[in-house]
């Protein structure tokens, strides 16, 4: 099977990497095309994943429209060149469009309800749309729900084992208390008009009383905060996040990654409350707290940091989540290999995905 994989964001590299490697082992031919966004190309290169480059992500509305036109043209050429059977991606606009004029089928994954522009130009053209079961919107007959999160495609225990050597690189030990703060650029199409932490410098000053502060940022930091910026290979960030005492930031992906890893997570964004995965992670599992107000978020962060048992409590909650959710990569492999019969089976017998769940014996 020839499968075209769209990579438009660093998180997409993580989502598809284990699927890609396993499909190669099974004799399939996955082909990657990538947009240059943040550290996406660094990740692909560090994982030694071959890819075709589509260009750099645009930072303005009209540039993004032009990007879609160019992306459609390049995707058409790739689908014809490699005789693609299935095109997949997270909000894969290019693949969804071009599948309508080629024999390829478009399977799109999404967990972002507020990505209105991308959803509007992608979903009507896709053949199938896969969403977590907690996704808040009804997308109609094309929608397939699965009991997982994007992050469980790469942070599930089947694929992720934390590597403590990242701590040595930063002159830390497993017993050290440290806080990861994430700032985003707010330039993505689904971030237009949104905002996060108002007083970045004030936030850092308050939290560093409880541990070493490490900042990761999409944009340039104020000079006063540059000494806090963490410099490690991007593929090591999940190891660091696993050992952190707390995550706090504007980055939704990293907030949910921290939660899935069992690290206390505080998300600060005007988008708080709009995403089904965050609602479930907070209300069902208590692994993340979401705020629109920075001061309220800081109060919660300090409350967590003052509790000496917070990390242990989060690990207990994480184990419950892992028992109740599925290995998303294993599901993805089954779903693609058995498409389109897998769609019918998921709709008529959703319990089929129970085969991808852990048992209590699998978690130490």
- The whole-number pLDDT of residue 56 equals 74
The pTM assigned to this predicted structure is 0.92
Residues of the chain with pLDDT under 50: 186, 189-192
Domain 2-156+327-362 listed as CATH 3.40.50.2000: yes
- What pLDDT was estimated at residue 32? 97
Encode pLDDT of 261-311 as tens digits.
Answer: 999 999 998 877 778 999 999 999 999 999 998 999 999 999 999 999 999
Nearest to 13 by CA among 299, 39, 26: 39
pLDDT (0 to 100) of residue 150: 96
**What CATH number should be reported for the domain whose range is 165-323?**
3.40.50.2000
pLDDT of residue 190: 45
CATH topology agreement for domains 2-156+327-362 and 165-323: yes
Q: b/e string for 284-295 if b means 16 or more Cβ within 10 A?
A: ebbbbbbbeebe
Beta strands in the chain (DSSP E): 2-7, 29-36, 52-56, 86-90, 105-109, 128-132, 143-146, 178-183, 212-217, 246-249, 265-268, 288-291
What is the per-residue pLDDT for 193? 52
Residues 207, 213 contacting (CB under 8 angstroms): yes
pLDDT tens for 242-272 read 999 999 999 889 999 999 999 999 999 887 7
Domain boundaries, the chain: 2-156+327-362, 165-323
């Amino acid at each position: 099977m020839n499968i075209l994989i769209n990579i438009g964001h660093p998180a997409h590299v993580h989502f598809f990497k284990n699927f890609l490697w396993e499909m190669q082992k099974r004799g399939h031919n996955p082909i990657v095309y990538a947009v240059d966004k943040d550290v996406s190309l660094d990740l692909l290169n560090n994982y030694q994943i071959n890819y075709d480059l589509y260009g750099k992500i645009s930072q303005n509305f009209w540039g993004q429209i032009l990007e879609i036109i160019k992306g459609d043209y390049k995707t058409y050429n790739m689908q014809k060149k490699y005789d693609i059977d299935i095109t997949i991606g997270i909000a894969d606009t290019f693949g969804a469009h071009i599948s309508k004029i080629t024999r390829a089928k478009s399977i799109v994954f999404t967990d972002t309800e507020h990505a209105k522009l991308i959803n509007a130009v992608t979903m009507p053209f896709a053949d199938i749309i896969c969403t977590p079961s907690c996704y808040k919107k009804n997308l109609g007959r094309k929608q397939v729900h699965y009991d997982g999160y994007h992050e469980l495609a790469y942070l599930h225990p089947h694929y992720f084992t934390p590597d403590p050597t990242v701590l040595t690189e930063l002159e830390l030990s497993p017993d050290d208390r440290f806080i990861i703060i994430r700032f985003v650029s707010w330039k993505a199409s689904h971030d237009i008009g949104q905002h996060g932490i108002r007083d970045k410098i004030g936030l850092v000053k308050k939290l560093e009383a409880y541990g070493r502060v490490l900042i990761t940022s999409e944009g340039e930091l104020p000079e006063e905060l540059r000494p806090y910026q963490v410099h490690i290979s991007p593929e090591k960030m999940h190891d660091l996040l696993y050992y952190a005492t707390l995550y706090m930031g504007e980055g939704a992906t990293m907030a949910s990654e921290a939660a899935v890893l069992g690290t206390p997570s505080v998300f600060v964004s005007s988008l708080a409350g709009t995403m089904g995965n965050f609602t479930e992670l907070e209300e069902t599992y208590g692994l993340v707290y979401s705020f629109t107000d920075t001061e309220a978020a800081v109060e919660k962060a300090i409350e967590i940091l003052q509790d000496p048992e917070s990390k242990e409590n989060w690990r207990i909650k994480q184990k419950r989540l892992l028992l109740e959710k599925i290995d998303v990569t294993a599901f993805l492999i089954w779903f693609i290999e058995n498409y389109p019969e897998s769609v019918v089976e998921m709709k008529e017998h959703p319990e089929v995905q129970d085969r991808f769940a852990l048992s209590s014996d699998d978690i130490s």
